[in-house]
Amino acid sequence: MAKNVRILHCRPEDVFDVLADGWLFTTWVVGASRMRGQDPGWPAVGTRLHHSFGVWPLVIDDVTTVLEWDAPHRMVIQPKGWPLGEARVELVVEEHRRGCKVTIVENAVAGPGAWMPDLLMQPMIWIRNRETLRRLGWVAAGRAATS
């Protein structure tokens, strides 16, 4: 289990405003390279984002499904990036005296990523999600400052 925690200088509602706008997904998720679409009703449970990851020309189309949505506290999604596999990602947002504390936990749940030893896989996920939370913080705080 790769777990990252970061204090963001905004309210939990500001973070969930970003999460609720599927078209912003590629601005804060490291590796996501382009948006292709969003199901009507996003981010209701069962709706999906259609995006791609990778660097052109090595781009893989991906779909991310909402498993749980409890704004402004918790979101659970499942990205599917075959042939690499699938992951379960949980974001928990709590109030903090300096804004909010965001915790992201990611686990590979299917495919080759799930077969790799944690000793190899978890450090890579941790590094990627460290930057993901940094980007999420910038986008959420920036949008909050302009509204």
For the stretch 58-93, pLDDT in tens is 899 999 999 999 999 999 999 997 777 899 999 999
Domain count for the chain, please give it: 1
pLDDT category of residue 3 using cuts at 50, 70 and 90: very high
pLDDT, residue 51, reads 96
CATH of the domain at 94: 3.30.530.20
**Which residue range is the domain that position 84 belongs to?**
2-146
Q: Give 109: exposed, middle or buried? Use CB within 10 Å, 0-12, 13-18, 19+.
A: middle
Say yes or no to pLDDT of 16 above 80.
yes
Cα–chain center distance at 87: 11
For the stretch 23-33, pLDDT in tens is 999 999 999 99
CA-to-CA distance for 13 and 46, rounded, in angstroms? Answer: 21
